[in-house]
Amino acid sequence: MINLLNFDLSQLTAYFEQIGEKPFRAKQLMRQMHLGACGDFDAMTDIAKSLREKLKTQCEIRPPDIVREHLSADGTRKWLLNVGQGNAIETVFIPEENRGTLCVSTQAGCALDCAFCSTGKQGFNRNLTTAEIIGQLWVANQALGVTPKNERVISNVVLMGMGEPLANFDNTVSALKIMLDDHGYGLSRRRVTVSTSGLIPQMERLSQECPTALAVSLHAPNDDIRNQIMPINQKYPLKDLMNACLKYLQFAPRDFITFEYILLNGVNDQPQHAQELLDLVKSVPCKFNLIPFNPFANSPFRQPERDSVLRFRDILNDFGIVATIRKTRGDDIAAACGQLAGQVKDKTRRTVIVDKLQK
């Protein structure tokens, strides 16, 4: 069976052409499938019956199954999704006053092995398909429903869940196209953010094939420290990364890069690190998102004191750089940054989850 969630509009149109259907039918189906969050061909009554019957014989609309859903005290919701062969991924919805952000995963595990990241410590399992990436919006949309004004609740998407989006380039780009398509989720490019650890060639490809807002995980003011906590820096060092950011901005829908910077107690959170950082980014229009480290089991790092976080922010602010401290959301359900799949890794709970996955 062909899973239609794997197709962006041009891929769906090409498939329809193959089966002798007109392009406008592909748009119709896209709308039903994504905007309408409909997975049942029989319920798509505005689509010709003959087409529905044809599709039923060879296609399906199959999002990943929900293994578990958690609701945090602060309203954050997390879904654990089964992607087969004992692999689970997580999707997190963060409601705020004027927006609702969905944090989406792109890989089961991650190969890049950043020292402070729970997903990285889990190792790499596999790339998610387009259906599994966009299926996270599908599942969340269905669960969240619509507002009283009949609007969808997800207004922003960040690819900041498990995995490195740009290491799963083709499937991620197809999923991005569906998010942006008027017949898909209709999100603005400025409200869809790809977060990368800094894969330079793929950043350039993204700027050409599907530019969105970009967040770059910086986390260190110099190559010495970055080499130690992010092995990818040995391949793509900071000077090249800064140039790649500047290049990206020529095509980006926003006029700044968001730099994510985890504060690790005693490692990269001192005033001299902030000073050094100012020098590093001086030619790149940017904002900073400071993320106090979220601890997980067996991690060697500690969260900094609140005072050093504020001091770090003030040094950037005084220089005229907007720097915000990321509020930790959903940490009571292990949904905060870098905590995703912590539970799958945890041996005692793993058995429970794997049992469910194999059912």
Q: Which of 81, 220, 262, 290 binds ligand SAH (CB under 6 A)?
A: 262
Nearest position to ligand SAH, beta carbon: 338
C-alpha distance across the termini of the chain, in Å? 21
Answer with the entry of ligand SF4, ligand SAH, none that 260 interacts with (C-beta below 5 to 8 A by kind): ligand SAH
Query: Residues 39, 50: contact at Cβ < 8 Å?
Result: no
Residue type, 4: L
Is 39 among the residues that bind ligand SF4 (CB under 6 A)?
no
The interface region with ligand SAH, picked from 16-24, 61-69, 288-296, 317-325 by CB under 6 A, is: 288-296
- Residue 128 beta carbon to ligand SF4: minimum distance, rounded to whole angstroms: 13
> x-or-dash pattern for ligand SF4, window 109-148, by CB under 6 A?
-x-xxx--x-xx----------------------------
**Closer Cβ to ligand SAH, 26 or 112, answer by number:** 112
Is 357 among the residues that bind ligand SF4 (CB under 6 A)?
no
Supply 356's token pair: 């469910």
Query: Residues 229, 121: contact at Cβ < 8 Å?
Result: no
CB neighbour list of residue 322: distance below 8 Å, 6 or more residues apart: 287, 288
Is 116 among the residues that bind ligand SAH (CB under 6 A)?
yes
**Closer Cβ to ligand SAH, 4 or 252, answer by number:** 252
Q: Does residue 90 have an active-site annotation?
A: yes
Q: Does residue 53 have an active-site annotation?
A: no
CA distance 338 to 138: 23
Strands (E), the chain: 2-3, 59-60, 65-71, 77-82, 88-95, 100-103, 107-109, 124-127, 156-159, 192-196, 213-217, 257-263, 286-292, 323-325
Angle at 131 between CA 159 and CA 358, to 5 degrees: 100
Q: Which of 21, 90, 132, 260 is catalytic?
A: 90
Angle at 325 between CA 319 and CA 331, to 5 degrees: 165
Footprint on this chain of ligand SF4 (rule: CB under 6 A): 110, 112-114, 117, 119-120, 163-164, 197, 217
What are the catalytic residues? 90, 337
Residues that bind ligand SAH (CB under 6 A): 116-117, 160, 164, 195-197, 217, 260, 262, 291, 293-294, 337-338
